[in-house]
Chain A
Amino acid sequence: MNHAHTIAFGIAGGIVAAGWLADAVQAQSDAAAVGPTPERLFNATIRERPDEDLIAQGRLVAAGGSGAGGAAMACFTCHGADGAGDPAGAVPRLSGLPAWYMYKQLNDYADGSRDSASMTGIARQLSDTEREAVSAYYAMLDSPHPRMPPAGNLRMLQWGQQIAAVGATDRAVPACLSCHGPDGAGLPPSVPYLAGQHAEYIALQLRLFRNGERHNDAMQVMSAIAKKLSDEDIDAIAAYYSRARPVDAAPRADAGQ
């Protein structure tokens, strides 16, 4: 494994619970070589904190696009210099998302396992190192959240909070925070935060999971859940989380310096 790569990937599916031990979990490439094939294992691995060079390279990609040029325009163009995204719809907030999660999304865009008219072309232009670098860069940002959107329908917010906290009992839907963590703060490296994400983006992703257009989630956990959600549930969850803020809005454990 290239030592310059600070975020290493042992590949596979069941990486959902790795979270808080991300820093402690090391690459297992040498161990994997002794027998079992890597695709049968489930080790998400992160080697060490990102170094300055990688962050600098990530900033360059974010500001100027791929070194190879072409379709990979600057991330800033849509996601903003601070990774704040765009509340209008399809552009998520990236600031402070787990690096591994973003890197995986870029790989998934590139190989088609997550489909997007805009992101697929961009991800394909990025080299592997560039994907890592720009993921590390956005992970270490800690931009202020945008002003709270208007509360709107309070009954809907309350329903969203209820699904978030305990699930939907009548349809056997588990609570969002069982995986996405207390307050929707996320569980790095593999589970993104929901708190403070744009409502339109959350709702769109849940609908894409529900209708099968998005299916790059580990073991199709999200697809199974989204299929049980009504439009009202989805809008309620999205509205709630767009207004939620983690109690301790500190950078993610693996977000770097």
Chain B
Amino acid sequence: MARKLPKTDVVIVGGGATGLVAAYELAHADRRCVVIERGPMRRTSPTLQSPEQHDELRYGIRHEHQVDVRRNTLTFRNNRQQRALPMRRLGSFLPGEGVGGSMMHWNGVFWRPLPSDLRLRSHHEERYGRGILDEELTIEDHGVTYDQLEPYFDFSERVFGASGRAGNLRGETREGGNPFEGPRSSEYPNPPLKQHFAGALFEKAARETGAHPFPLPAGNCSQEYRNPYGATLHPCVYCGFCERFGCSYFAKGEPLSAVLGQLEGHESFDLRHECEVLRVDKSADGKTATGVTYVDRGGNEYFQPADLVLLCAYALWNTHLMLVSGLGRPYDPETGEGVVGRNYCYQTMAACNVFFEEGVRTNPFMGAGALGYAIDDFNGDNFDHSELGFIGGGYIGCSQTNGRPIEYNPVPEGTPEWGAQWKRAVRDYYLRHAGLSIHASSVATRHNHLDLDPTYRDHLGRPLLRMTFDFPDNDRRMAAWLVERAEEIARAMERVERYDTENRAAFGKAYTIVPYQTTHNTGGTIMGADPTRSVVNPYCQSWDQHNVFVFGASLFPQNLGYNPTGTLMGLAYWALAAIREDYLQNPRSLVST
């Protein structure tokens, strides 16, 4: 029997980026916030300091900052004809666990969506006619526009100290930035990072092919910077330990460096770590949530009543929590009806590995998660799709994230996978490799979805989340086309000895959860303007229980060609503004149905 605790104004599930930002904003609106986080407490100092933090075996290989799949995992299958099995080792994606969440160990690639990305269905129907969209595609509009979100993108970039160069400042195109991006109301708070040698070669080659390279928008801070919350970010030292690691230097914009230090000690902030939310509880009439029930590390169960419930867990677990709590109608791929679990999407990843001639030194050990150049010419609908047979696209980037000793060992295709020849090849190529990464969109289809597994349970006895996913043919066609674009740039790069390509979404290759691809799982609790096709309304508020708001990439109706963090942080600030400025004064559904 759960012990009932005193009521709080707001209960927040998850102590990651959106959870801590929500706590900051609402505690400063005089609302008592209880944040419940199932992982451990962390602070940049002392928890993330090196040399301990730079332990690649512990964090890079054994994933100690990520979800413990012995306790919480999901089952996976490619399609409904298969039986799903539990994922017992992390691979394709690495959801975070613990205070700071997944953004704590992100690389820092900090994009905004294109204006057309946020009204994807309408945009394509307007530009190409309805025929462009295959019937299988269940892509949607977000229900909120770029112009509405712009001030919140801008603010989140200030909080996390984004470094980059605006390519579109209030409608004026600026040399050296991304000419395809939507208008920015202000310049990046920090200038771009220093660039790496291979990136400079890529930049030159991309320009020669007619593309428009620019520095990747970075959450790795390029200089000393004080954010709007009063936290000081330090300059990045290019140590090459971003993704999978916490930043020792207060240089990566993430919840610990940018938010937590300014929030701890606030009288309205109560953080309970190593406590796991079992379910969201509903009122007798089902029209509101009454709070959450959670279990602490000792197995004690508590009911935390609250006026407002914010779901700020990782995208997959937000969906899981709604399903096990009976919030919203579960999606049924058979009928296409229901919403929770609908439009699960991933990211379509491919690469072109470039090996330079002897004598070129790329010095990969000097890196940062978002250090590099990218082109956006082939992303979204920045190019004509009418004859291509697919929609969507991606950016092609040349970044230098790390040269870490265990996993950074690029060798040309055809090298044996072990033994003397492999070792020789690692030595030969360590200092003369660059990866051109293709980071592309993922369309929603009727088949790819999330639901509850009928067989397997988690350590608390709840059914595991079940993922059904394979790359849609649309994305396979897109990936093949994008690989050719990357090859054109590789051919134009100087002093290249050879290059190899790698396409995760090649025809004939089923998606697999084994090799790491990217931690960009999206959808499941999508936003939209139509309650029969979305879980939350355009203010990220549950259609069914008006005091439940959802945060994070589970809101995305489909995944864009961009890393999701910038988009989801903008959405978080947008929703928080609606909560602060409207909902708290008059709690109700903010969109009448």
Contact = CB atoms under 8 A, between A and B. Distances in A.
Interface of A: 12-18, 21, 24-26, 28, 30-32, 34-36, 40-43, 45, 165-169, 172-175, 177-179, 181-182, 218-221, 223-225, 228
28 contacts: A14-B238, A15-B366, A17-B239, A17-B240, A18-B366, A25-B363, A25-B431, A31-B197, A35-B204, A36-B195, A41-B196, A42-B194, A42-B196, A42-B238, A45-B361, A166-B49, A169-B46, A172-B45, A172-B261, A174-B250, A175-B50, A178-B49, A178-B248, A179-B237, A179-B249, A219-B223, A219-B236, A223-B224
Nearest to A31: B360
Nearest to B202: A36
B238 A17 contact: yes
A218 B232 CA distance: 18
Contacts of B45: 166-169, 172-175
A223 B223 CA distance: 11
A174 B248 contact: yes
Contacts of B238: 14, 16-17, 42
Interface string B235-251: 11111100000001110
Interface residues of B, number: 42
A175 B45 CA distance: 7
Contact of B43 (A15, A30, A169): A169
A167 B257 contact: no
B221 to A, nearest CB: 10
**Interface core residue of B223, B261, B365 (most chain A CB under 10 Å):** B365
A24 B431 contact: yes
Given A35-B200, A175-B45, A220-B235, A41 B195 contact: yes
Contacts of B431: 24-25
Given A25-B361, A26-B361, A174-B249, A224 B235 contact: yes
Contacts of B249: 174, 178-179, 221
**Interface core residue of A26, A167, A179 (most chain B CB under 10 Å):** A167
Contacts of A169: 43, 45-46
B132 to A, nearest CB: 40
Contacts of A218: 237
B203 interface: yes
A221 B194 contact: no
**Interface core residue of B51, B235, B494 (most chain A CB under 10 Å):** B235
B212 interface: no
Contacts, number: 133
A25 B361 CA distance: 7
B204 A36 contact: yes
A242 B455 CA distance: 62
Contacts of A220: 223-224, 235
Contacts of B250: 172, 174
Given A34-B201, A36-B197, 18 more contacts: A17-B237, A17-B365, A18-B366, A24-B431, A28-B197, A40-B200, A41-B194, A42-B363, A166-B45, A167-B44, A169-B43, A172-B44, A174-B49, A177-B49, A177-B51, A178-B49, A219-B222, A221-B235
Q: Which 10 A-B pairs have the closest CB atoms?
A: A36-B200, A167-B45, A166-B46, A219-B235, A224-B224, A175-B49, A178-B248, A16-B237, A178-B50, A14-B238
Given A24-B431, A178-B50, A35 B237 contact: no
A177 B361 CA distance: 28
A34 B223 contact: no
Interface string B249-293: 110000001000100000000000000000000000000000000
Taking chain B's interface residues, is the majority helix, strand, or loop, or is none over half, making it mixed? Answer: loop
A31 B363 contact: no
Contacts of A225: 234
B396 interface: no
A219 B194 CA distance: 10
A41 B204 CA distance: 14
A68 B239 CA distance: 41
Contacts of A182: 51
Contacts of B234: 174, 221, 224-225
B414 interface: no
B366 A17 contact: yes
Nearest to A225: B234
A106 B50 CA distance: 30
Contacts of A30: 359
B440 interface: no
B423 interface: no
A229 to B, nearest CB: 12
A41 B431 CA distance: 15
A223 B50 CA distance: 20
Contact of B49 (A34, A41, A165, A224): A165
Contact of A31 (B51, B257, B361, B365): B361
Contacts of A31: 197, 359-361, 495
B240 to A, nearest CB: 6
B109 interface: no
B237 A219 contact: yes
A31 B204 CA distance: 14
Contacts of B235: 219-221, 224
Contacts of A167: 44-46, 49
Contacts of A43: 197, 361, 363
Contacts of A14: 194, 236-238, 366
A52 B234 CA distance: 41
Contact of B257 (A18, A41, A45, A172): A172
B197 A221 contact: no
B231 interface: yes
Nearest to A223: B224
Nearest to B427: A24
Given A31-B361, A31-B495, A228 B201 contact: no
A192 B238 CA distance: 17
Contacts of A173: 45
Nearest to A32: B197
A171 B480 CA distance: 50
A212 to B, nearest CB: 12
